[in-house]
Amino acid sequence: MVEEQLIPRGIQDKRVLQTFLKVERHRFVPAEAREKAYGDYPLPIGEKQTISQPYMVALMTECLQLRGTERILEIGTGSGYQSAILAELAKEVYTIERHALLAEPAHRLLREMGYKNISFKVGDGTLGWPEQAPFDRIIITAATAEVPDPLSKQLTDDGLIVAPIGELFSQTLTVFHKDHGQLRGESFTSCVFVPLIGKFGLQH
Ligand code: SAH
Active-site residue, 52 included: yes
Q: How far is the CA of 154 from the centre of ligand 1 (A)?
A: 19
The confidence score (pLDDT) of residue 42 equals 95
Give domain status of residue 200, yes or no.
no
Q: Within a 10 A sphere around the Cβ of 70, how many other Cβ atoms? A: 20
Assess whether the C-beta atom of 163 lies below 6 angstroms from ligand 1. Answer: no
The answer to the question of residue 201 being in a domain is no
How many structural domains compose the chain?
1
Q: Residue 131 belongs to what domain range?
A: 2-191
User: Is residue 92, in this structure, part of any structural domain at all?
Assistant: yes
- pTM value is 0.97
Distance 139 CA to ligand 1 centre (A): 11
Verify whether ligand 1 is closer than 6 Å to residue 19 (CB atom).
no
Whether 203 is in a domain gets the answer no
Q: What is the DSSP string of 109-132?
A: HHHHTT--SEEEEES-GGG--GGG
Ligand 1 pocket, residue 97 CB under 6 Å: yes
Q: φ, ψ for residue 139 (rounded to 5)?
A: -125, 125
Of the pLDDT bands very low, low, confident and very high (cuts 50, 70, 90), residue 17 is very high
**Is the beta carbon of 124 within 6 A of some atom in ligand 1?**
yes
* Residue 83 maps to a domain: yes
For residue range 34-45, list pLDDT tens digits in order. 999 999 999 999
Alpha-carbon gap, residue 186 to 204, rounded angstroms: 26
- Ligand 1 center to 91 CA (angstroms): 21
Residue 156 is assigned to a structural domain of this protein: yes
Which residue, judged by its Cα, is nearest atom 18 of ligand 1? 196
For residue 109, the domain's CATH number is 3.40.50.150
Rounded to an integer, the average pLDDT of 120-124 is 98
Query: How does pLDDT run across 140-159, given as a tens digit for each residue?
Result: 999 999 999 999 999 999 99
Q: Is 54 in the pocket of ligand 1 (CB under 6 A)?
A: no
| Residue percentage of the chain with pLDDT more than 90 | 98
Whether the CB-CB separation of 24 and 109 falls below 8 Å is answered with no
148, part of any domain? yes
Q: Is residue 187 part of a domain?
A: yes
Q: Are 173 and 198 in contact (CB under 8 A)?
A: no
